[in-house]
Amino acid sequence: MTTNPLLTYWTTPFELPPFDKIKPEHFEEAFETAMAEAKAECDAIAEQSDRPDFGNTIAALEKSGERLTKVARTFFNLTSADTNETLQQIERDIAPKLARHSSDMLLNEKLFERIAELWDQRETLGLHTEDAKVLERYHMMFQRAGAGLDENGKSRIAEISQRLATLGTQFSQNILRDESDYQLVLETEEDRAGLPDFLLTAAAEAARERGHDGKHVITLSRSSIEPFLQFSTNRRLREEAFNAWSARGELEGETNNAKIITETLALRSEKAKLLGFENFAAFKLDDTMAKTPDNVRDLLTKVWEPAAAQARAEEQKLSKMAANDGENHTIEAWDWRFYSEKVRKEEHDLDETELKPYLQLDSMIQAAFDTATRLFGVTFRELDDIPVYHPDVRVFEVLDPSGQHVGLFLGDYFARPSKRSGAWMSGFRSQHKLNGNVAPIIVNVMNFSKGAPGEATLLTFDDARTLFHEFGHGLHGLLSDVTYPMISGTSVARDFVELPSQLYEHWLSEPEVLSKFATHYKTGEKMPTDLLDKLLAAANFNQGFATVEYTASALIDLELHLLDSPDEIDIAAYEKAELGKIGMPNAITMRHRIPHFQHVFSGDGYSAGYYSYMWSEVMDADAFGAFKEAGDIFDEETADRLLTHIYSAGGRPDPEETYKAFRGRAPKIDALLKKRGFAA
């Protein structure tokens, strides 16, 4: 019998998963073996006769399930970034089993009794700061999972968790199928009218990958569809492409997510009420910086009102531009990007075709690395001949200022049909010190349109910002310096986790960075000063639109999870009615419509929490001011505080207190409004 590589000691460089040996069929056996092993370890902790102490209970739990963690992280990174039908079937089968396994641990009465006893005695245990935080997280995690309920309540909570796991998996797979099935093949010159060379090159490569050699294909990846909507002069095709993009998850047939959404909302509501909360939003926000739905709504409303007003003013400019072009139609959602590009050209003498030649993917990667080097002293060395899960994946060793190994960084930058849309940071291994210094293995996944073979991949400025954003998350994982996995890296409050990523975006927009790394992909010449000036001057162009499409999504997410009887709603009608209540401009759609809102329904990571980006933005806008006030965007003292209190601290400190330790005070919303151009 062939040895299962997932169940052996990994002798690969840096103990990466042995991707060159792993096959989909290995995962079923690996999960069953690893779950049984983890359960036995957990039961042994619960059944021991010794009185509970931090070491034999909390630290022991932190050390348990190591093999299951390795298998699960490998599997779910693959199902997100390079899946196939076999992996998807395994994912559908394993999701409820993993949920049941988790419930068995979190609802283990004897285990919870040990944790509760330690919690009650916490003031007398002499715990260090990290130990105290980890105990707090375990006690809260068990409580929020239903450990304090009676047997009927525990049983129902376990059933709900298993069903939600199944629903989240199906939701995600439905979206991927809708995205993979759609392709807009451009056959004629009329189909390609208005498209710049960089987009045609990327569309030709997308066509080649999909078996349409010699043609051009637009996909539903943002890096493909958004520039098509921006430049195509064929309004009929713009409408067709936009509607396909907008309709993901609500097409008739097997991939329609309406029933999944209503059942998910109903189960979440039931779970929250079982745990003593009025609704799911109240339950979810209780463990965040925001604390209550009212606090979230207050923030979003303060931003919504000036953003909506600015968006309406922007729409008037678009209508005027269309009229000047001899068009008398109403501005629709598929027109916005097209005419806003024209308005930007008129107001700022700037268009995307001028910028992209200077925004090479490789140069922007180096810009992100160089920024980290100047801030934190870390350096990056690319490694070859390392086993990876897809040929496009690049591997970099991260070194500290003394040249010692910090961790591995994997970059997976290009769109493909086997990858879900969007951009994200994940990890194959988290940093901790329970078994020596365990180094992190972090991955950034993007969906950029790939350049032709031998040609540079060119980015939009938004693409480059996304790269910096996700690398900010990556640094949060790489620079983590804590003892316990429970609080490692990005294991922080949901509305704090976006601070390191959104803060990192600021350096991209600084002339000191752009003037060095924004170089022409053919000539190597630096971006001309006048073009750089125009880019920075247009930083808040179309900000009303961008803020409205995001804030509408955040408000709808909140309201969905405040519903008392969510299983009774018609999703399409509800979305339309709620957008009408807040005065959503007709020509703008939500950034993520409900039927394909993966942040919220592919698992519950951002459920009732999509507002988190804006909550963190209040902090990031204010935090970058510390560097400006120091007179140097790489000021050493400020960077040291940033590393100590934000990037390396993981979930050890209280978010509010650690922000104040860095900044010297609480954040001010004025910085956010000013950053977005809504305040002087």
**H or E segment to which residue 184 belongs:** strand 184-186
What's 123's DSSP letter?
Answer: G
What single-letter amino acid sits at 615?
W
Please tell me the distance from the alpha carbon of residue 351 to that of residue 534, in angstroms, as a whole number.
10
Tokens for 370, please give them.
């160089």
What's 190's DSSP letter?
Answer: T
Q: Give how far the C-alpha of residue 278 lies from the chain's centroid of Cα atoms, to the nearest Å.
A: 28
89 contacts 27 by C-beta, under 8 angstroms: no
Please tell me the distance from the alpha carbon of residue 595 to that of residue 610, in angstroms, as a whole number.
15
Tokens for 144, please give them.
């929020």
Q: What is the pairing mode between strands 405-414 and 441-448?
A: parallel
Catalytic: 470?
yes
**H or E segment to which residue 395 belongs:** strand 394-399
Whether the CA torsion 45, 51, 53, 56 is positive or negative: it is negative
For 37-82, the three-class secondary structure string (H helix, E strand, C coil) is HHHHHHHHHHHCCCCCCHHHHHHHHHHCCHHHHHHHHHHHHHHHHC
Q: Write the CA distances from 210 to 78, 80, 213, 226, 442, integer angstroms.
A: 21, 20, 8, 20, 30
Please report which residue ranges of 189-257 form alpha helices under DSSP H.
197-209, 222-231, 235-246
Tokens for 258, please give them.
């309406």
Please tell me the distance from the alpha carbon of residue 69 to that of residue 485, in angstroms, as a whole number.
11
**H or E segment to which residue 441 belongs:** strand 441-448
Write the CB contacts of 142 (distance below 8 Å, at least 6 apart in sequence): 106, 111, 112, 115, 148
Q: Could you say which of 250, 314, 352, 470 is catalytic?
A: 470
Number of Cβ within 10 Å of residue 377's Cβ equals 15
Show which residues are catalytic.
470
